[in-house]
Structure formats: C-alpha cells, structure tokens
Structure 1
C-alpha cells in the first residue's frame, strides 16, 4: 500500500460509491459500493453493501456489512452482522453477532459470540465460539477449538424460551477440542472433551478423551 497516493473517504448519511483504493474509509449511515474497496482502515457505523471485494488492514464495524466478494484483512472486529458470498481471510477476528460466509473462513484467531454460518471450512490456530443461536460449518479445523453456549444465551433464553443454541458440522479436527451442544459426524483431536448436549457419531483421539454423561457418542477410536 502506498499511503501517499491514497485519499480518505468519509461518508455521512445515505449514498453510493464506485469503490476504489483509499487510505481510510469511514462511514456513518448507509453506503453501497459498486466495486472493490481497498484501504488501510475500514470503519462502519450503520449499513454497507459492497458488490466487489473488501481488502483492508483493519475492519471495524457496528451494524451490517454485506460483501459479495472476499474479505481480506489483518484485523476484523465489531458487532452486528458481517456476510461474504465468497470467503474471509484474516489474522484476527473478534465479533459479537452474526457472521455468514458461503465459502471458507480462514482466521488465525477467531473469537465469536453469537451465530456463525460457514458454507465451507472454518479454520484457525485458535477458534473460540460462544453460541447464542443455531450455528453451522461444513468442516472445522484448527489448533485449539472451543465451542460452547455463551453466558448471554442464558439471558436470551429467559426472554425467548424457544431459543436454541447448537452447532452442527461434518468434521471437527484440532490439537485440543472442547465441545458443548455440538452435533458432528466426526471429531478428531489430540485431547478431546465432549461436553453436555453433544451428539457425535465418531470420536478419534490420540492422547485423552472425556465424555459428559449427557453426551451421545456412537464410536470411540484411540489413534
């Protein structure tokens, strides 16, 4: 990135933009980009739609952001709703709310409280998901994986008794895996903890395995 040839884009209110290359993008309100957005910092308070891809060192949002292409960033954080029709690649992601990706989501450190829907692979060195609603991914792979109901779910359950918080995936594989209220065909790891509310067809482990008395595991395999 050559900062000297890039200008800032500041938007207040409701408007549209062709996109392009910028230093910093700041949006307060609503903006639709008809092309790619390439910037150092992308800040949003409100709603934004990007018909192309979003590339930034830092993405920070409060509100809703929908991207038709890929999202490539070093850091993604905020709260609200973030969706991508292609995929997400980031070093760090910390979010409260809903993340929806039709393809793969590759993040070094992934921390989410809320709902996640990944059509392909969710992967990262550290994956920490606090469930508030029904979530899913095609497959999950990483170093340290922890998927549980969040503390906020208990409060939401008091307001909306019918609210469920579960995670569904085909294969979940990591060095350390700790799961609660997860349904999967295969869970594979070094140290594996299968907590309450889990329904797993096959668990494969190398070092240790703990299974809660309320969990359902059809087959255990020591690798």
Structure 2
C-alpha cells in the first residue's frame, strides 16, 4: 500500500491503484480498480472499478459499478452495488441495493432498507428494518424483528421471527420459531422442529401465518392457516384453520381451531 491518504473536498477523481485511506467529502469518482485500507464517503462517491479493502463506510451517497471485497461495509446513507459483494460483516442503517449476489461471511444487521436483486449467503443475519431478497437466502441463523421478503427459497439451521415474513418458495431449517405478527405468507415450511405461536400471557399484536404445506417432525401451530400439515407429533393450538393433517405419532387439536381431515399414518 502507498503510505498516503486521499481526500476529495470538492469535485475530484481517483485513479486506479493502491491507496491507504480514501475520504470523499464532496463529489468523487474512481476511474479504475482500487485497493485500499478504508473508504469513507460523506458526500457523493462513484466507483467505476473493483474495490478491495478493509472497511467501507457510507454516510452520503455511493454507487459501486463492479465487485467489492471488504471486511466491513457500513451504510448510513444510500448505496447501490451493481457488482457482486463479498464482506465479513454488513451493517445497513440507510438504504442498500445490490444487483448481484452478496456474501456475508459472518454477521449482517439490517436496521434500514435492503433490496437484493439476486441472492444472499450469510452466516448470521438480524433484520430490524426491511429486507427483500429476490432469489435465495442461505443462512446459519436468522432473527427477524422487522420484515423480510424472500422471493426464492430460505434455507438454514435456525430461523426465528417476531416480525413479518414473506417467503414465496420453501422455508427450510432444522429449527423454526415464528411469533405471528401481521400477516406472514410462506409457501412451504419444512424442518425438524416447527413452532408457530404467541409468546407470553398478553397478546400485544395478533398475527397470522399462512402456508400451503407445513412438514416436520415436531409441529406446534397457533394462528395458522394451512392446506396440509404433515408430521410425527402435531399440536394444533387455538386460532388455526387446517384442511388436512397427516401424522405418524400423536395429534392434539384445540377446540378453537378447525381441522377438515385427520389422517393417522402409524404402521
């Protein structure tokens, strides 16, 4: 790395090459691929080449036309990424849009708005704002307290939601816990342990979960509408409307729920 910093206060451009720290407080444009330690954008930044470095922090507006590879991407303003994104951590407090796949190796925290035109791979993601992924979401753990919309499949190990969820494909995880809030629509749900129910004695917000198929080993449902529920041990609490239940172990149905057909498949 070169041992000097680059700062743009008014209008300026940055040539391709290796830098130390880059700070844009006015209107700055990079003209090629950049390697650096830190990039800070407090004005308007446009990057017309690949960017590789340690940290990118955007407090103003930025657009990246090609791939970025960094340890941390922190967005407090507006950022558009037209290439692929690879980072160790992602923090969004403003608006983040990406046209291609994004990989977050460790932790993503979404407090603002994030829209990904393709897929997301992330080890752990926490959604307190709004997130839209227009292809598949792959994760280890996810915690939703805002809203998330996945147009493709949503697959991982542990899924927890106390927000609003839309999954147009399959939601699949070893363990799924959903506290109904608003109207959540999930095309299909599959997992080892699936729990959809309110927590606590007082219902602050009534919510519903709608699905065509719920399939798992242990299933507990409340405030859920579903065409087919298929599992080993199935418990239906109040507020459910189920067309058909197929089970191989035990079945318990609350009187305040409606079940059209119950089929025991024990050998």
Q: Same fold (TM over 0.5)?
A: yes
Q: SS of the residue aligned with 2:54? A: coil
The answer to whether residue 63 in structure 2 is matched with residue 21 in structure 1 is no
CA 1:134–1:149 in 2, change beyond 3 Å: closer, same or farther? farther
Tell me if structure 2 keeps the 8 A contact 1:113–1:150.
Answer: no
Matching residue of 2:214: 172
RMSD: 1.9
The answer to whether residue 233 in structure 2 is matched with residue 188 in structure 1 is no
Determine the C-alpha separation between the residues in 2 that align with 1:150 and 1:81.
23
Matching residue of 1:55: 103
Which consecutive residues of structure 2, in runs of 5 or more, have no partner in the other structure?
A: 1-36, 38-51
Determine the C-alpha separation between the residues in 2 that align with 1:202 and 1:130.
22
Matching residue of 2:183: 134
Instruction: Give TM-score scaled by structure 2 length.
Output: 0.75
The answer to whether residue 132 in structure 2 is matched with residue 90 in structure 1 is no
CA 1:152–1:213 in 2, change beyond 3 Å: closer, same or farther? closer
Report how far residue 21 of structure 1 moved: 1.4
From 65, 68, 75, give the equivalent of 2:124.
75
Matching residue of 2:42: none
Report how far residue 77 of structure 1 moved: 1.2
Instruction: Give TM-score scaled by structure 1 length.
Output: 0.90
Matching residue of 2:59: 12
Question: How many residue pairs get matched?
Answer: 213
User: Which structure has the highest helix share of the two?
Assistant: 1
Matching residue of 1:214: 256
User: Which structure has the highest strand share of the two?
Assistant: 1
Q: SS of the residue aligned with 2:163? A: strand
Matching residue of 2:6: none
Deviates more, 1:134-143 or 1:18-27: 18-27
Q: SS of the residue aligned with 1:207? A: coil
Report how far residue 96 of structure 1 moved: 0.5
Greater Cα radius of gyration, structure 1 or 2? 2
Determine the C-alpha separation between the residues in 2 that align with 1:194 and 1:84.
31
Matching residue of 1:111: 160
Report how far residue 17 of structure 1 moved: 2.0
Report how far residue 152 of structure 1 moved: 11
Determine the C-alpha separation between the residues in 2 that align with 1:153 and 1:35.
46
The answer to whether residue 240 in structure 2 is matched with residue 198 in structure 1 is yes
Tell me if structure 1 keeps the 8 A contact 2:127–2:148.
Answer: no
Q: SS of the residue aligned with 1:213? A: coil
CA 1:209–1:101 in 2, change beyond 3 Å: closer, same or farther? same
* Cα displacement string for residues 171-217 of structure 1 (whole angstroms, at most 9, x for unaligned residues): 10111101111111110111111111111111111111110001111
Determine the C-alpha separation between the residues in 1 that align with 2:131 and 2:198.
20
Determine the C-alpha separation between the residues in 1 that align with 2:211 and 2:192.
17
